[in-house]
Amino acid sequence: MSKLFKFCELSLNTTFNIFGKIQVLGSQNIPKDDSVISVSNHLSIIDPPLCASAIGKEARFLAKKELFKFPINIFLKFYGAFPINRGKVDLKAFQWSKKQLMQKNNSLLIFPEGTRSKNYVIKKGYNGVTFLAIENDSIILPLGITGSEKCTNYLQFFFPKMKIIINIGKPFKIINLPKEKNKILYDKITKEIMQRISNLLPENYKNEKKIIAENNFIYTKIIGEI
């Protein structure tokens, strides 16, 4: 991890120990040594550092390009982030992501919704994470974060009077891919990825008010059950 990331992680954990609380569930589900694509719902500006810290691997992020303005772009670069053009095919971000996943014990953190949910309910995801996972045959690690929606500005990083719960699910891979791939297929796979995240969330954060049973997943399978 970069020195900047370690410093920020230590500072954030210290402020939470004083003013708030972080509870991480499912740490045993994090694959050892393997690089993963970590996917989570998105509620707040504080989600990226909290999710990265919970996973504990070398942290890498994709962040919207609008954030990369001087001087904040320098901070983001050293923090492990790379700009992405949301809603479009971004080949530079795609190639950078592939490179990160080829290295050992990295975590590429992606929020498939592309932006924060204003009503806190998980939304439809973009297909970028599906393209990337298929291209690299990647392990996908789902996370569900709650409580962070109370953080609405950067000053609260220093006084985080909130309780955060990060629920880490079992890692899975994409399977049953036909020779011919199209947008309909990618939409179905992305929906399964979002459903696996939704399964980790309380009812009031879900878009479907039920747990999706494992046997209903067609294109994704938990590692160890493949």
- CB 193, CB 112: distance < 8 Å: yes
CATH architecture of 3-222: 3-Layer(aba) Sandwich (3.40)
Instruction: Say whether pLDDT at 148 is over 70.
Output: yes
The residue among 40 and 82 whose pLDDT is bigger is 40
C-beta contacts of 101-105 below 8 A and 24+ residues apart: 101/35, 101/37, 101/132, 101/136, 101/138, 102/35, 102/136, 103/35, 103/58, 104/33, 104/34, 104/35, 105/33, 105/34, 105/35, 105/57, 105/58
The model carries a pTM of 0.92
Instruction: Say whether pLDDT at 195 is over 70.
Output: yes
The domain ranges of the chain are 3-222
Confidence of residue 119 (pLDDT cuts 50, 70, 90): very high
**Nearest to 145, CA basis, from 226, 45, 213, 74:** 45
The pLDDT of residue 7 is 86
Summarised one tens digit per residue, pLDDT across range 62-81 is 888 888 887 777 778 878 88
Mean pLDDT on 149-166: 95
Summarised one tens digit per residue, pLDDT across range 196-209 is 999 999 999 998 87
Instruction: Say whether pLDDT at 226 is over 70.
Output: no
Mean pLDDT on 83-107: 88
